[in-house]
């Protein structure tokens, strides 16, 4: 029974936001674009219910997001982030839905272009390697 509980807590689905958290620092923030996977416990998972996940990811990476992280950091010498308190109490600034959608779409497009450029780079690398072999 315990094993299933652990797997359920680490199972991610499309458009879950993943935070790499080390001590009091949030590292890379990503949005899972696959269908389903399992991650290690070193990653915090946020499942936005009503908010555009791309907008939320952008907000978390902003100066505002970093200020909120500082509020939920504790420990004098070995700082840690209270991730649960941070996520539960993260206040999203009140913006017009059009602005939220615009920022979300721009971020989503950037993520898709980054994925596409990586694929194109891999294709180019393969072509060059094949030419070198010939």
Token pair belonging to 118: 């990586």
How many structural domains compose the chain? 1
Token pair belonging to 9: 């807590």
Q: Is 39's pLDDT higher than 60?
A: yes
Task: For residue 19, give its domain range.
Answer: 2-133
Please name which of 18, 90, 99 lies closest in space to residue 53, comparing C-alpha atoms. 18
Beta bridge partners of 31: 17
Percent of the chain with pLDDT over 70: 85
Residues 40-45: contacts with CB under 8 Å, at least 24 apart: 40/10, 41/6, 41/9, 41/10, 43/10, 43/18, 43/19, 44/18, 44/19, 44/83, 44/87, 45/10, 45/12, 45/16, 45/17, 45/18, 45/19
DSSP 8-state symbol, 47: -
Q: Is 56's pLDDT higher than 90?
A: no
The pLDDT value given to residue 121 = 94
The CATH number of residue 12's host domain is: 3.90.220
The pLDDT value given to residue 77 = 67
Q: What is the mean pLDDT of residues 77-90?
A: 72
């Amino acid at each position: 029974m315990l094993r299933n509980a652990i797997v359920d807590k680490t199972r991610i689905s499309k458009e879950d936001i993943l935070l790499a958290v080390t001590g009091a620092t949030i590292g890379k923030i990503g949005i899972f674009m696959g269908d389903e996977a399992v991650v290690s416990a070193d990653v915090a998972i946020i499942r936005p219910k009503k908010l555009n996940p791309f907008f939320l990811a952008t907000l978390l990476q902003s100066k505002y997001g970093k200020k909120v992280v500082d509020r939920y950091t504790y420990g004098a010498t070995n700082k840690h982030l209270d991730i649960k308190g941070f996520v539960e109490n993260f206040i999203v600034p009140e913006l017009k839905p059009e602005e939220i959608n615009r920022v979300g779409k721009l971020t989503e497009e950037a993520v898709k272009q980054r994925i596409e450029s990586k694929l194109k780079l891999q294709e180019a690398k393969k072509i060059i390697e094949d030419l070198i072999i010939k």
